[in-house]
Structure 1
Amino acid sequence: MKRVLPRMNTIKHMEQSKTDLYQLAATQLRGLLSGETDVVVKMASIASVLHTTFDYYYWTGFYRSLDGGLVIGPYQGTPGCLRIAFGKGVCGTAAETKEIQVVGDVHTFPGHIACDARSRSEIVVPVLDQNGNLLAVFDVDSTELASFDEQDAKGLKDILAEHFSA
């Protein structure tokens, strides 16, 4: 008898804590990316797994540090801004400060860049290499207010550090 394994996107419908879901996603990514060295492959896989794991992830993806600013990279969701200057909006602020930005209401963030009017809250995590240099930022938007918290910040930071700064 053939065994059918559940697809990752069915997980978001189960009653599990954020911490459990981040651990589950981390385990899946560990297996998926074992031995992988290509940065774009890692980015695409991480964006896909996380986007399909969490119901409140509306736009999920990377902005790569290129050409003196941020350039859209692999993502899941509606079309995003193609380029963002360092220091501009939530993503540019995270890139410039190298600090995680958790924004409960994007309309109250000074200089917020509205790539999609449906976005209401956002988390942006800087992605650093093993030398502390900025590779990218990982950006997640939600259509709900205050979707992100310290559990999201820790879960994302741990996953990204494992695959980019290890």
Structure 2
Amino acid sequence: MQKQDFYHSLILQAKGLIGDEPNMIANMANLSALLWMSLEDINWVGFYIMDGDDELVLGPFQGKPACIRIPVGKGVCGTAVAMQQTQLVEDVHLFPGHIACDAASNSEIVVPVYRNGKVVAVLDIDSPSLARFDEQDKQGLEALINAFELTLGA
């Protein structure tokens, strides 16, 4: 299956899971589980939620225990919030200030989640392989997060 078709199918599944549910935490839990089941070659997937204006706190996830708090501007997740854009990192060991929650992780993608134009969370996915994520993954995951953002309301 081509990546574009894979993400189209994944988004349809996600909409079926979360489409009528307004609770952000419940939807993050189901999306984490869906991504964990569906994506190959990953070792962690989950959400970090904004806690105030300057820190992310661990939300629903699948994988090994993780860092609990990440300051905005630090690591890949904090950088995604500070820059308000997806971070696609082929080699986390070359990323300035990378926070190594799991030494087995080698590449990462982080997608901001918006509500009313403000970042409220990030989706974080790690892989033990270098350059696991590409532009098609970025586009597919951003489209998935756009579908999730529709459940957040005003």
Q: Is the aligned partner of 1:153 residue 2:116?
A: no
TM-score (norm 2): 0.94
Separation (CA, whole Å) in 2 of partners of 1:56 and 1:23: 19
The list of structure 1 runs, each at least 4 consecutive aligned residues, that deviate by more than 4 angstroms after superposition, is none
Deviation at 1:57, TM superposition (A): 2.1
Structure-1 residue corresponding to 2:15: 30
Q: 2:107 aligns to what?
A: 121
Q: How many pairs does the alignment contain?
A: 150
Which structure has the larger Rg? 1
Relative contact order: is structure 1 or structure 2 higher (C-alpha 8 Å, sep ≥ 6)? 2
Answer whether contact 1:56 1:144 (CA < 8 A) is retained.
yes
Q: Report Cα offsets for 1:91-138 as digits up to 9, x if no partner.
A: 000011111100000000000000000000000001001x21111010
- Asked whether 1:52 is paired with 2:37, we answer yes
**Residue aligning to 1:65:** 50
**TM-score, normalised on structure 1?**
0.87
- CA RMSD in angstroms comes to 1.1
Identity %: 47
Partner of 1:139: 124
CA contact (8 A) 1:101 1:125 kept: yes
Q: Partners of 1:25 and 1:142 in 2: how far apart? A: 19
Q: Does 1:74 align with 2:50?
A: no
Aligned mate of 2:94, from 98, 108, 118:
108
CA distance in 1, matches of 2:106, 2:129: 6
Letter in 2 for 1:75: F
Alpha-carbon offset, residue 165 of structure 1: 4.2
Per-residue deviation, residues 32-80 of structure 1 (Å, max 9, x unmatched): 1121100001111111111110112210000000133000000000111
Distance 1:101 1:145, change over 3 A: same
Q: Which runs of 5+ in 1 are unaligned?
A: 1-15
- Where structure 2 has 5 or more consecutive residues not aligned to the other structure, the ranges are none
User: 1:22, CA displacement in angstroms?
Assistant: 1.2
Find the aligned partners of 1:165 and 1:112 in 2 and give their Cα distance: 31
8 Å CA contact 1:119, 1:144 repeated in 2: yes
Match of 2:75 in 1: 89
